[in-house]
Structure 1
Amino acid sequence: MTPNYRVCLLVGFVAVIMIVPYVHPDTNANKATETPIKHVVILMMENHSFDNLFGIYPMTSNGSVVANITKPLNLLTAPHLSGLQQVANGSFSTPDPYEGYGQYHTDWNEGKMNGFLNGSGPNSLDYFSANQTGLEWDMAMNYALADNYYSSALTETLPNRLYSIAGFSPVSQDQLYPPPFVAYSETIYGELDRYNVSWSYYFLNPVLGINPLDFIYGINNHLNHIGTWGNFISQVDNGSLPAVSWVSPISGGAFFYSQHPPDNILSGEIWIYYIVNKIMESPLWNSTAIMITYDEGGGYYDQSAPPVVAGQQLGFRVPFILISPYAKEDYISNTVMSHTSILAFIDYNWNLPPLNRLVAYSNIPLDMFDFAERYRNGQIIRPPYNFDNMLNQFLPRDLSDSTSLASGYHSVGYIFPVPFQFNPSTLPYSRTGQSNFNLSNDTSYFVAHDSSFIPWYLNKLFYYPVIAIAAASIIFLSYRIFKRRKLRRNR
């Protein structure tokens, strides 16, 4: 995602948001669900591939905690190229690799995954270790991590974020402003409204921007669903969170939280940890699933060639972490998934039709949950992991304070790994697995045919006849004026 795109504002939305307060607490917490999950919280960070953040997971200074568990086995065995560079201890960022549709397709090189130097450039070969990602690795190790999860399109931020909310994108590259739009009725929000499932999208300050929602035509009629980070924390504390929540580290005046290079990635980790910790301390913990992922790979190297699902060429592999009292401990999912898998889970869990065909064919991360097997203590629901004992130094005063806290650290490798909640040898399930469960048997799609939308007054085809008529009018008026002046001279 380009810096300009990150700060783009739409004045029309600003004006409306300033006069429409957020008034959408949970109204249907008891709505029937397919699983015990009543609340889904989605955090989509920015621009890191799986190998860039988890390529040598779970390596520590003492060797591998769980050897050969990720797929492929290890970044350091990557067959495609040499020149991989571990980010130095003391640094929490790298320069931004070259981004773009063309660069990413060069990186990909028809699935050979060997074009990164020519596409995204030398910084694409940088990768992080526990020295920078220890906090995120701790959360992944004590809950569930997917190592076969991909961005939805082989391109930049905007299209991937639109796929994550509509299962479709009318644009193939980043752009500052719409059109084209996605119609509100063709998004997950339109579907949730249709079936009376509550939802909200939270920004630091919506007055300062609501990207990517400004690419949804009709969103200005639903601004009661858009809140602030403060609204989110208040609703977590009092247990009134909607069924589905998106908390955005971008737009709305938010800078340095999303982990977008060259930002300090620890700032984003602390931001995530604050949200996770708040939910763990709240009455919502026993019914919540927190889904953490990245919009796209950002030009960073990844060795896994993205597959094709339902005719859609997926983008680069990105991390996906599931945190929940029902998430398996230290579990690695090999299930092929993408951003539309989150939409598929929402549809499955609330017994909705698949949003569209791509969502229907997207595998659902059910293998990452344990809804039936009991632990040695006889419980199925895991109590909150008490990260505070080890990681309370990373809790900021509030959600917007993570950037200043992150600046005080030289390394966080010493915090990984924290102890397991349960002894791995006693777990009632395998520590790795996969599932091919999806909704493809249900062909009653909520959106039968995806389409981009351009209002008539923004359509270029509308302006051509307007310009032609205006030009003809000017010519006609000029002729009349000229003719009158000529008649006056002749008199």
Structure 2
Amino acid sequence: MPIKHWIVIMMENRSFDHLLGYLKKLNSQIDGLTGDESNLYNPADPNSKRVFVNFNSPDVDPNAGHSVQATTQQIFGSSTENKNFPPPMSGFVASAEGMSAGWGPEVLSCFNSTSLSVLSSLAMEFALFDHWFASVPGPTEINRAYLHSCSSHGLGDNDPTKLAEGIPGKTIFTSIGDAGYDWKIYYELLPAALFMQELREYPENFHTLWDFYDDCEAGTLPTYSFIEPRYYTLDSDLLANDQHPSHEISQGELFLKKMYEAVRASPQWNQTALILTYDEHGGYYDHVPTPLDIPNPDGLNSTDPAFNFTRIGIRIPTVIISPWVPKGTLVNKGSGPTPTSEFEHSSIAATLKKVLNLPKFLTKRDEWASTFESVFSLSEPRTDCPATLPDPYPFNLQKPNQHEQPIHELQHNLLLMAQALTGNKDDISPTITEREAGLFVEKQMKEWQTQAKALQENKVFL
């Protein structure tokens, strides 16, 4: 295996069809959109108005429903799970309209190769996975837990109290560390990885994004790197770049361009794999039925909402980037280790276990998940990989002052988690803005690391 350095970037809340469904027009083998896909306003009424997909999505989109309940409606066309396969994927418009009138057509609006120049280039240049699913048909924090731990340990929604306390369980980071490999988490402002309780014991492994650029340039990347975008807009020059609606998609494109170009210029490029994925679909349409009858990872179920973790989420974009990947690689369904195995976020831990000879799986989920080491199939690294990527498409839309907007659920949960890290008891204003919240969590992160360093020095002194 030529890969010695593994980098994962997880962006926010976009489905495969929403971002990359148009690629079928460029490569008919990709399981994308024909333009004939649609949803009814009322899936139970065949005479209700029908909405078709389009390829003219605006840069700013609604923050549509993506809880377990909302996603169940989007998949099955009603709030009741139906085990008949395949699921119709018929409830996206109804779910969105139930949140806000007029959102229905927007969740069927998709991007194109012009408006997504960076992601399009990466998808066509390296390995595109068109059957990679979110781990859970539910929200951000739960799916990120599966990326790190291959389980949410029974948590089925974004419970602020439980998230502030931390999700228990062993993570892929400490599995790697226990085997003698190094790892780092790079972030801007505050990393969502700290929702994982175990990772709060390793403050020295958290580094700013500027450290990532330095490590790329110096050739000192660790075995495993996890990169988190900026989740808050601080001002007109420091915009959120996580692509979480309604943050600008173009800012995320610029972020991905910078990440790729830093890795591409690194002396470690020929030993590196960069994995780009998204946490979940964000309420946006995808036509591929979600797999059912998936193994529960650890026997733990959610009671509110009631969910047993035996089906996975909606398809999301995933691209694996490396000079060892043949240009234009397309990966469809996984080929094992079981007849029902699929690519989902636990595939990353499963692959790392395999290539690094880690002693144990984290849960039954990564034991089941498909692995992707076979994409690094060339006998020698490519020399034609682009050194730079196209500039993001300039949408030039008149946008509100995003830094003055109220915070959404993920931002709120990050804020409460930041308080828990330092023991901060400040009352949080219900009208706190993105800028105020972003500056607050950044301050708490710095304070937490200072406290941890002082505690460690005190232990050494004693």
Distance apart, 1:258 and its partner CA: 0.9
Distance apart, 1:355 and its partner CA: 2.2
User: 2:343 maps to which residue?
Assistant: 337
Alpha-carbon distance between aligned partners in 1 of 2:327 and 2:24, rounded to the nearest angstrom: 14
Q: Would you say 1:212 and 2:193 are equivalent positions?
A: yes
Alpha-carbon distance between aligned partners in 2 of 1:338 and 1:287, rounded to the nearest angstrom: 24
CA contact (8 A) 1:192 1:198 kept: yes
Q: Would you say 1:96 and 2:76 are equivalent positions?
A: no
CA contact (8 A) 1:152 1:339 kept: yes
Distance apart, 1:295 and its partner CA: 0.2
CA contact (8 A) 1:84 1:127 kept: no
User: 1:346 maps to which residue?
Assistant: 352
AA of the residue aligned to 1:324? S
CA contact (8 A) 1:211 1:251 kept: no
CA contact (8 A) 2:216 2:263 kept: yes
TM-score w.r.t. the length of structure 1 is 0.66
Cα distance, 1:237–1:333 mapped onto 2, change above 3 Å: same
User: 1:465 maps to which residue?
Assistant: none
CA RMSD of aligned residues (A): 2.5
AA of the residue aligned to 2:224? V
The match for 1:150 among 118, 133, 149 is 133
The match for 2:365 among 358, 361, 365 is 358
CA contact (8 A) 2:231 2:240 kept: no
Task: Give the secondary structure class of the aligned counterpart of 1:183.
Answer: coil
AA of the residue aligned to 2:122? M
Cα distance, 1:269–1:345 mapped onto 2, change above 3 Å: same
User: 2:20 maps to which residue?
Assistant: 54
Cα distance, 1:164–1:212 mapped onto 2, change above 3 Å: same
CA contact (8 A) 1:49 1:318 kept: yes
Equivalence map 1:436-455=2 (5 Å): none
User: 2:215 maps to which residue?
Assistant: 235
Greater displacement, 318-327 / 124-133 = 124-133
Q: Would you say 1:130 and 2:98 are equivalent positions?
A: no
Task: Give the secondary structure class of the aligned counterpart of 1:132.
Answer: coil
Structure 2 unmatched ranges of 5 or more: 41-49, 77-81, 98-103, 297-309, 334-341, 398-462
Percent identity between the two aligned chains:
24
AA of the residue aligned to 1:270? L
Cα distance, 1:253–1:227 mapped onto 2, change above 3 Å: farther
1:40-81 C-alpha deviation (Å, 9 max, x unpaired): 11010001100101111153xxxxx33x1112x534243765
1:150-190 C-alpha deviation (Å, 9 max, x unpaired): 00001010100000000000311123343563335x11122
AA of the residue aligned to 2:107? S
Distance apart, 1:346 and its partner CA: 1.1
1:133-155 C-alpha deviation (Å, 9 max, x unpaired): 12211111011100000000010
CA contact (8 A) 1:337 1:364 kept: yes
Structure 1 unmatched ranges of 5 or more: 1-34, 60-64, 373-379, 395-405, 412-491
Q: Would you say 1:199 and 2:183 are equivalent positions?
A: yes
1:241-282 C-alpha deviation (Å, 9 max, x unpaired): 110001101448785211111222111111111111111111
Task: Give the secondary structure class of the aligned counterpart of 2:352.
Answer: helix
Distance apart, 1:219 and its partner CA: 2.8
User: 2:446 maps to which residue?
Assistant: none
CA contact (8 A) 2:172 2:362 kept: yes
Task: Give the secondary structure class of the aligned counterpart of 2:143.
Answer: helix
Number of corresponding residues? 345
AA of the residue aligned to 2:33? N
Equivalence map 1:303-342=2 (5 Å): 303-308=287-292, 309-311=294-296, 312-335=310-333, 336-342=342-348
Q: Would you say 1:259 and 2:243 are equivalent positions?
A: yes
Distance apart, 1:365 and its partner CA: 1.4
Alpha-carbon distance between aligned partners in 2 of 1:262 and 1:235, rounded to the nearest angstrom: 32
Q: Would you say 1:172 and 2:156 are equivalent positions?
A: yes
Alpha-carbon distance between aligned partners in 1 of 2:395 and 2:30, rounded to the nearest angstrom: 28
Cα distance, 1:252–1:203 mapped onto 2, change above 3 Å: farther
Greater displacement, 112-121 / 78-87 = 78-87
User: 2:30 maps to which residue?
Assistant: 70
Distance apart, 1:368 and its partner CA: 2.5
CA contact (8 A) 1:104 1:120 kept: no
TM-score w.r.t. the length of structure 2 is 0.70
Cα distance, 1:53–1:340 mapped onto 2, change above 3 Å: same
Distance apart, 1:119 and its partner CA: 1.5
Distance apart, 1:103 and its partner CA: 1.1
User: 1:43 maps to which residue?
Assistant: 9
Cα distance, 1:310–1:278 mapped onto 2, change above 3 Å: same
Q: Which has the larger radius of gyration?
A: 1
Alpha-carbon distance between aligned partners in 2 of 1:252 and 1:126, rounded to the nearest angstrom: 24
Task: Give the secondary structure class of the aligned counterpart of 2:9.
Answer: strand
1:435-490 C-alpha deviation (Å, 9 max, x unpaired): xxxxxxxxxxxxxxxxxxxxxxxxxxxxxxxxxxxxxxxxxxxxxxxxxxxxxxxx
The match for 1:297 among 271, 281, 285 is 281
Distance apart, 1:85 and its partner CA: 4.3
1:385-425 C-alpha deviation (Å, 9 max, x unpaired): 2353x73xx3xxxxxxxxxxx684559xxxxxxxxxxxxxx
The match for 1:182 among 159, 167, 176 is 167
User: 2:52 maps to which residue?
Assistant: 84
AA of the residue aligned to 2:29? I
User: 2:205 maps to which residue?
Assistant: 225
CA contact (8 A) 2:37 2:53 kept: no
